[in-house]
Amino acid sequence: MYIWKVSPLIEELKNQKLSQKEQFKYFLTYSLLMVLSADPFLYIDFNYVIYDSIDTLVASIITILGIIYCFKVNESVDGKDFILRFITLGLPITVRFVFVIILVVGIYYGLIDSSDSEVIDTKPADVVLSAILFSGYYYYFATKLKAIGQP
């Protein structure tokens, strides 16, 4: 796996020498870096609390396990085109989940957590909600990958 050098990777891609398993490693690493880059610690003027770190850790673990699970499901179907399937199916699945998240989070913060504070601190309930949504996302994704193998 090349982390810094691009030219040898380009050659492997040109010559189709990058296996599905190697492509998977790149995808998993890239996805994990995207999750970590969303950590609120990296933002200025954000009230960072310990639950933000816990949320990022939980999201990272669920992302790793979720992508591994989806990869294994894809292997059980036919083992082909995991990255292509994940990216293309990912668009409508993510749009659906973003809609659900906006609805759930809107209801949660609008009705349940009606604190008067302008600054929203991450709480244990937020971490649990995030874990449920992330887990549901990968579970739902895996069911759609399974559908590829059904007649």
**Domain chopping of the chain, boundaries:** 22-37+48-148
Whether this model's pTM surpasses 0.85? no
pLDDT of residue 76: 95
Q: Are 63 and 134 in contact (CB under 8 A)?
A: yes
pLDDT score recorded for residue 43: 64
Q: How many residues does the chain have?
A: 151
Output the pLDDT for position 147: 93
Radius of gyration of the chain, Cα coordinates, nearest whole angstrom: 18
Instruction: Classify residue 35 by burial, with Cβ atoms within 10 Å: 0-12, 13-18, 19+.
Output: middle
- Closest Cα partner for 66 from 139, 151, 147, 116? 139
In contact, 55 and 124? CB cutoff 8 Å: no
For the chain (length 151 residues), average pLDDT per consecutive 10?
A: 85 86 92 82 71 92 96 94 91 85 73 62 88 93 91 76
Residue 57 has which token pair?
């850790």
